[in-house]
C-alpha cells in the first residue's frame, strides 16, 4: 500500500476545499491497515478517517494522516422470520448499499436513500433522514483499536446512538477505525412513511413499496439539497436544536406557521432551517460562500471558498439566531 505525501483532498471533501493531507493512505485489507498502524510514526500522528468527506470541513492543510478505508465487501445471510443480515465494508458507498438492498427487496434502509458518504461513516453521526436513522437497523459495528490493533465489536446498544451522535464521536473519537457495519433488514419490513413531505408525495401513487419510497426520497432530496458535484456543501451544517417543550410552545404561539417536533421527556426539536430563514439568511451569499437558496440549513461553497470563510459565515448565523431567538445552534459537520 502506498503512503502518499502532500496528497490533494479537493476531490475528497464535498465542500471542494483545496487542501492537502501531509500523509494519505487507502488500506484495502485489515492487514494493510494493521501494518500502517504498527508503525509508531503513523500511529502517533493526528488522524482523520475519511469516507466521502461529506461531513467534514477542512480549514487548512492537514498535518497528519488521512486514512481512506477501501473495505468493499458486502455479504448477506438469510435469517428466520423473513430477516436478512447484511454486512458491508466501511469503504462501500452508502447509497450503493441502499440501492443494492432495495433491489433485493430487503427493506429498512430505503428512507436513507441518497445520503452522501460511506458505510463506515454512517454510524459515527447516526445518519438520519425522512423519519429513519441508521441506528434503527444496525446490529453491529466492527472496528480496529488504534492502540492495540485488536478488533473490537460494538452491539447496537454499545454504540450510544443519539440524534446525529454516537460513542464514535464521543469516548472513542480518534481511537479506532470502523471496518465493517452489519444491519438487520427484512423482506416484510413495515414501510416508514410518516414524514410529512414523504407521505404527501407517496399518497398519489397507486402502489407503495420500498422502491417507491427510495425514488420519492431521492426526488425530495434533489429538490431541496444541492448536489455536491455541482455546488460544494456538506448537507445540514447545523443540528436541529432541542429545547424544552415550554420554549417550543412559546415560540409557536408567536409564530403559528412554525412546526415543532416533540421528542419526549418534555423536549422538542425546532427546525434550524426555519430559524436561519427567519433571520434572513436563506439564499444569502458572502463572497465565495453562502446559504443555500432552497434549504437554509445547508452552507455552500460556490467555488474557491475556504473552510475559514464557511466558519465565519456559520458564526454570523449562530449570532443572529442567538440574538433573535435565544437558541444556540450546534454545528453538525466535523471541523478539521
Ligand atoms: N425549513 C424552513 N426553511 C428552510 C429549511 C427548512 O422553514 O430553509 C423547515 C421546513 O419547512 C420544515 C422543517 O424546517 O418544517 C424541516 O425541514 P426538512 O424536512 O427539510 O428537514 P431538516 O430538519 O431541515 C433534517 C436533516 C436532514 C434530512 C432531513 C429530512 C438534520 C440536521 N438534518 O433536515 O439531514 O435530510 O431532515 O429528514 O437533522 C444531513 O444531516 O446532512 C441532512 C441533510
The residue with cell 460544494 is 232
Segment 47-101, tens digit of pLDDT: 999 999 999 999 999 999 999 999 999 999 999 999 999 999 999 999 999 999 9
Segment 247-303, tens digit of pLDDT: 999 999 999 999 999 998 899 999 999 999 999 999 999 999 999 999 999 999 999
Residue to substitute in 221, 273, 281 for testing ligand 1 pocket (most ligand atoms within 8 angstroms of CB): 273
CA 53 to CA 45: how far, in whole Å?
Answer: 19
Determine the Cα angle at 276 with ends 275 and 280, to 5°.
Answer: 115
Determine the Cα angle at 267 with ends 265 and 273, to 5°.
Answer: 150
The Cα-based distances of 131 to 33, 43, 197 in angstroms read 35, 39, 10
- pLDDT, averaged across the chain: 96
Segment 275-288, tens digit of pLDDT: 999 999 999 999 99
Q: Whose CA is nearest to atom 12 of ligand 1?
A: 271
Q: What is the pLDDT of residue 206?
A: 87
- The set of protein residues with a Cβ atom below 6 angstroms from ligand 1 is 129-130, 197, 224-225, 235-236, 239-240, 259, 271, 273-274, 277, 282, 295-297, 332
Q: What is the DSSP string of 295-326?
A: -TTEEEE-SS--HHHHHHHHHHHHHHHHHHH-
How much is the pTM?
0.95
Closest C-alpha to 121, from 159, 90, 154: 90
Amino acid at each position: 500500500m502506498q503512503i502518499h505525501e502532500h496528497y490533494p483532498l479537493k476531490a475528497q471533501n464535498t465542500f471542494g476545499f483545496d487542501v492537502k493531507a501531509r500523509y494519505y493512505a487507502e488500506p484495502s485489507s485489515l492487514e494493510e491497515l494493521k501494518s500502517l498502524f504498527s508503525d509508531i510514526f503513523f500511529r502517533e500522528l493526528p488522524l482523520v478517517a475519511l469516507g466521502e468527506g461529506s461531513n467534514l470541513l477542512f480549514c487548512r492543510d492537514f498535518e497528519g494522516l488521512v486514512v481512506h478505508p477501501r473495505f468493499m465487501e458486502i455479504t448477506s445471510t438469510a435469517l428466520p422470520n423473513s430477516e436478512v443480515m447484511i454486512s458491508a465494508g466501511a469503504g462501500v458507498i452508502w447509497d450503493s448499499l441502499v440501492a443494492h438492498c432495495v433491489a433485493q427487496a430487503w427493506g429498512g434502509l430505503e428512507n436513507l436513500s441518497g445520503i452522501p458518504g460511506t458505510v463506515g461513516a454512517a454510524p459515527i453521526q447516526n445518519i438520519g433522514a425522512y423519519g429513519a436513522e441508521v441506528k434503527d437497523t444496525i446490529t453491529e459495528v466492527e472496528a480496529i483499536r488504534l492502540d492495540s490493533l485488536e478488533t473490537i465489536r460494538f452491539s447496537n446498544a454499545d454504540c450510544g446512538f443519539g440524534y446525529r451522535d454516537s460513542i464514535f464521536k464521543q469516548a472513542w473519537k480518534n481511537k479506532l477505525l470502523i471496518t465493517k457495519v452489519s444491519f438487520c433488514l427484512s423482506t416484510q419490513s413495515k414501510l416508514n412513511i410518516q414524514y410529512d413531505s414523504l407521505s404527501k408525495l407517496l399518497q398519489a401513487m397507486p402502489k407503495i413499496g420500498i422502491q417507491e419510497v427510495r425514488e420519492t426520497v431521492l426526488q425530495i432530496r434533489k429538490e431541496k439539497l444541492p448536489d455536491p458535484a455541482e455546488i460544494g456543501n456538506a448537507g445540514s451544517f447545523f443540528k436541529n436544536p432541542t429545547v424544552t417543550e415550554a420554549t417550543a410552545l412559546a415560540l409557536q404561539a408567536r409564530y403559528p406557521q412554525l412546526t415543532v417536533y416533540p421528542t419526549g421527556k418534555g423536549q422538542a426539536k425546532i427546525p434550524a432551517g426555519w430559524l436561519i430563514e427567519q433571520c434572513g439568511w436563506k439564499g444569502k451569499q458572502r463572497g465565495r460562500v453562502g446559504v443555500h437558496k432552497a434549504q437554509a440549513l445547508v452552507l455552500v461553497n460556490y467555488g474557491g471558498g475556504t473552510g475559514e470563510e464557511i466558519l465565519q459565515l456559520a458564526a454570523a448565523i449562530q449570532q443572529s439566531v442567538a440574538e433573535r431567538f435565544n437558541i444556540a445552534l450546534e454545528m453538525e459537520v466535523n471541523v478539521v
